[in-house]
Structure formats: structure tokens, C-alpha cells
A and B are shown apart, each in its own frame.
Chain A
Amino acid sequence: MNNFDFAQLFQGIYTLLVSDPVIAYSRIGLIFLGILLVHLGRKGILEPMLMIPMGLGMATINASVMLMPDGTQGNLFVDPMLTDTDQLLEMLQIDFLQPIYTFTFSNGLIACFVFMGIGSLLDIGYILKAPFSSMFLAFCAEAGTFLTIPIAIAMGLNLKEAASIAMVGGADGPMVLFTSLSLAKELFVPITVVAYLYLGLTYGGYPYLIKLLVPARLRGKDIKRDPNKTIRVIKPSTKLYFAVVICVILCLLFPVASPLFFSLFLGIAVRESGLTKIREFIEGPLLYGSTFFLGLLLGILCEAHLLLNPKILLLLVLGILALLISGIGGIAGGYILYFLKKGNYNPAIGIAGVSCVPSTAKVVQKEVSKVNPNALVLPEALGANISGVITTAIIAGLYITLIPLLK
């Protein structure tokens, strides 16, 4: 007992005391940030489904740093930096979240499961009714995905890192995870955390952007639909054939992103083929289970040692910039359609091209209804919203394939 250091009994506190002050303060800061995320999730300010497991994970992992048998600091949750196969096999039997991380997270499987779930929720009938305008708006709402790259390079990131953080402009969490895993593996944890934090904020921030860029006179504009025009009722079989054809074409073009395309269109195919039980499984247990573990693992990965990267501040700035530019690009697209359709279009719909399904479409309808309760823009907004998912997947495919070729 003479050599026993009493402080070592409470190793969470002991490791705080013996750590580098920057690490120690970061750990304390992250514990409080985690608690704040749980609180904001509970209040509904941020997405609770993601923020509650993520916040608790973040707080817990930074509290439970301990001394490992070899004298280094570590934890019993997960070690994401393992590369040696023997060590990995050992850790799979020790760290309780290591199997989920190794077998679902680091290979992008969890992102594909989430994408499958999103696919099963998408009704592509909205795009089939106005395919060109929906895809055009989605393209315009990718402005942040393109324009953030030169800004990020000017701020000191390399091209692959710049492309990964620019994907936040596509506002699609699984896509950011998948792209950063392929292009900037060393930064994928902070980039994905930044992405998911900001995606929760689009619901709160975009209404202000709409109010700022679209005057009330145009914001309340209802789209006049010609009663003499034939309305096509899109059959489920049409949607199924569409999913099959587009999936095959996109996979032919970008085999690197084929797991994402396959997952998205598989979800759509299951939805439209009437496989009720499988659809219920994909859009229920699979989607919610994957989202839960995604949030939990993201939180667990927010350990101070892993997250303390000098580039994190840059990523925070660039992430919000990417979403802002995409929002502006979407509204610019809305204005272009407004002029092309000779005033019979609501420019606010453009922001729904930012593919945060279905948040941005709901935000648009909500803002339009505040000015004109009789205006119905939700079908057009959902068309642009769903097109946004497809466009972001196309850009992810292009980035993963072409960015490594650029110098």
C-alpha cells in the first residue's frame, strides 16, 4: 500500500490531472458540450434522435479516460486508430463498441443503412412530375459543395480534405461520412461531427436566410396550376423501373460510390415494389437503429485526443460556409425558375434543393405559409429536396473518383 497513489483510484480524474493542460481543458469542454447537446436535443433545438446518443457519448468518453496496462491513456469503448490486424483482433474482444465501429462504421456500412432507410422514405413521384426543374434546383443548391473547395484550399487544407468538408454543402450526413472516409480518413471524425452538428442547425438557420433573400411579396406566392392540364398519376411500377435504371447507370458511371447509389435505390425499389414487411423493417428498425448507433459512435469518437486537431476551427468555419453558400445557390436557382416561368414560381422553393430530407422542404412550406396560408409549395419543394439527395450522391461519386486525379 506504500506505493499506492490514491488519485489513481479515480482514473478519470487522475488522467485529467496528469494530462497536458490543453487535453485536460478540452476534455472538460467536451464533457460540457456533450451535456449541452443532450439538453438541446431534449428541447428539440437540435435533432434529438442523433444528438442525445451523441451528446451522452461525447460526455462519457471524455470522462472515462483511464490508464491502460501499458501505462498509456485509453478507454474501454473503441480505438479507431488501430491498423495492425493482431491488435484489432485483440481490441474486438476488449472494447465493447469496437465490433460496431470496425464492422459498420469504418467501412461505411452504417452510412449505407441510413441511406437505404432514406430511400425507403422517398417518394420520387414528386420528381417525376417536374424532373427538370427539380434537378435544376438541386444542382443550384450544390453551390456550397463546389465553391467551398477553393476557399478551403486558400485556408490551408489540401484538396482531398477540402472536398470532404465541402460535401457538408450537400447537407447529407451519410454522404459526408462516406466521402471523408474515402478522401480524408485522418479527418473523417471531425468532418462528420461538424456535418451532423450543422445539419441539425439548418432547421433553425434557413428560415432567416429565406426571409433575408426573398421579399414577403414573392415568399407568399402560390403557384398557379392550370386546371386544363393533364395530371399524370405516377404508378409505383414506373418509380420502380426508374430506380432500377438510374441505379445501374450511376453505378456504371461511378463504381466507387456504387454502395451509396445501390443503398439509396434499393430503399426506393423496396418501397415501390410493395414489399411491405421489408419496407417496414428498413424504414423502422434499420433506419432508426443505424441512426442511433451513428450518433452514439460519433459521440464516442469525440475524445479530446482524437478531436484535438488544429484544423478543427477551420472545419467549423468551412462547414457553415458550405451550407450558407448552398442555401444562397438554391434560392438563386429559385429566382432563375421564377423568371423562366414568367413569375409563376416561388423562389423560396430553391432552398429545398439542399438535400436535408425533409427538413428544408418543411422549412420552405412553413415560411411560405406564414406570409400566405393558402399557398401550397410542398410538392415542388419535396421534388427539389429528393433531387438534392440524388445530386449529392452524384457529386460524392465524382469527388471520390476524380479528386484523387487532380493535382
Chain B
Amino acid sequence: MSIFTGLLIIAGMTFVISMLVAFIFWALSLLTAPKEMVLTGVKKPAPFARHLMVEWQHFRSFQKHYRTYWHNENAASNELIDFYHE
């Protein structure tokens, strides 16, 4: 067998084996029934709306924290000021 033919065969075999590996990848990802995330109907918020949403979540988390502090710790009124400035 000439070198040129040999190299062509090696290139061909590389392609076939690579595609076989790709096929196994594909088949395995189907067979193992992975969790699926469906993005249908999910509306991506605009950057400003997302910013507002994040800020609102921050505020809610602060509010919750504050309530816990106030009710559980029985903090005095002057401590409340310190809490705000922390």
C-alpha cells in the first residue's frame, strides 16, 4: 500500500471513528433521560426590569432580616439606628 493511500485510509478512519464517538455521545445523552429545562413561554426580562426585580428581592430580604432582629432580639430603639448603619 502506498503512503498516500495509507494516509487517505487513516484520515477516513479518523472521520468515521470521530462520528462514531459523536453518535455514542448523542445516543447516551438520549438513553439516560436527562432532566430537561423547557424555556417555552419564559419571557426574558429587560435589563432594567431585571434590575428592579433584583432590588426588590434585596429589599424583601432586608425586611425579613429586620423583622427577625426586631422581634427576636428585642432591640432598643437606638440599636435600630445602628442596625441601619451596619
- A residues near B, CB below 8 A? 124, 127-128, 131-132, 134-136, 138-139, 142, 146, 149-150, 153, 159, 227-235, 237-238, 241-242, 245-246, 249-250, 253, 387, 390-391, 394-395, 398-399, 402-403, 405-407
**Considering residues B7, B18, B22, B25, which has the most beta carbons from chain A within 10 angstroms of its beta carbon?**
B25
In the complex, chain B residues whose CB is within 8 Å of the CB of A233:
34-37
A135 and B18 within 8 A (CB):
yes
| Nearest residue, chain B, Cβ from A392 | B14
Question: Can you list 6 A-B contacts (CB < 8 A)?
Answer: A128-B25, A128-B29, A139-B15, A238-B34, A391-B14, A391-B18
Q: Interface size of B by Cβ–Cβ distance < 8 Å?
A: 34
Given A230-B36, A238-B32, A406-B1, verify A395-B14 contact (CB < 8 Å): yes
B11 at the interface (CB under 8 A from A): yes
Q: A241: which of B7, B32, B36, B37 is its contact (CB, 8 Å)?
A: B32
A153 and B3 within 8 A (CB):
yes
B18 and A138 within 8 A (CB):
yes
B16 to chain A, nearest CB (A): 10
B29 and A234 within 8 A (CB):
yes
In the complex, chain B residues whose CB is within 8 Å of the CB of A402:
6, 9-10
| Nearest residue, chain A, Cβ from B39 | A227
In the complex, chain A residues whose CB is within 8 Å of the CB of B38:
230-231
Give complex CA distance A132, B28 in Å.
13
B77 at the interface (CB under 8 A from A): no
| Nearest residue, chain B, Cβ from A391 | B18
A193 to chain B, nearest CB (A): 26
B29 and A232 within 8 A (CB):
yes
A406 and B6 within 8 A (CB):
yes
Give complex CA distance A399, B3 in Å.
12
In the complex, chain B residues whose CB is within 8 Å of the CB of A134:
22
B54 at the interface (CB under 8 A from A): no
B35 and A150 within 8 A (CB):
no
Beyond A131-B29, A136-B18, A227-B44, 18 extra complex contacts between A and B, CB < 8 Å: A124-B25, A131-B26, A134-B22, A136-B19, A136-B22, A139-B15, A150-B4, A231-B37, A232-B36, A233-B36, A234-B34, A238-B29, A241-B28, A242-B28, A246-B24, A391-B14, A391-B18, A406-B2
A131 and B34 within 8 A (CB):
no
Q: A245: which of B10, B22, B28, B44 is its contact (CB, 8 Å)?
A: B28
In the complex, chain A residues whose CB is within 8 Å of the CB of B25:
124, 127-128, 131, 135, 242
Give complex CA distance A147, B62 in Å.
64
Give complex CA distance A391, B22 in Å.
11
Given A131-B22, A402-B10, verify A228-B40 contact (CB < 8 Å): yes
B18 and A407 within 8 A (CB):
no
B39 and A231 within 8 A (CB):
yes
B62 to chain A, nearest CB (A): 32
Give complex CA distance A322, B3 in Å.
18
Give complex CA distance A407, B21 in Å.
30
In the complex, chain A residues whose CB is within 8 Å of the CB of B7:
146, 149-150
In the complex, chain B residues whose CB is within 8 Å of the CB of A136:
18-19, 22
Give complex CA distance A406, B28 in Å.
36
List the 8 closest A-B pairs by CB distance, nearest first: A131-B25, A131-B22, A406-B6, A135-B22, A238-B32, A135-B18, A132-B22, A227-B39
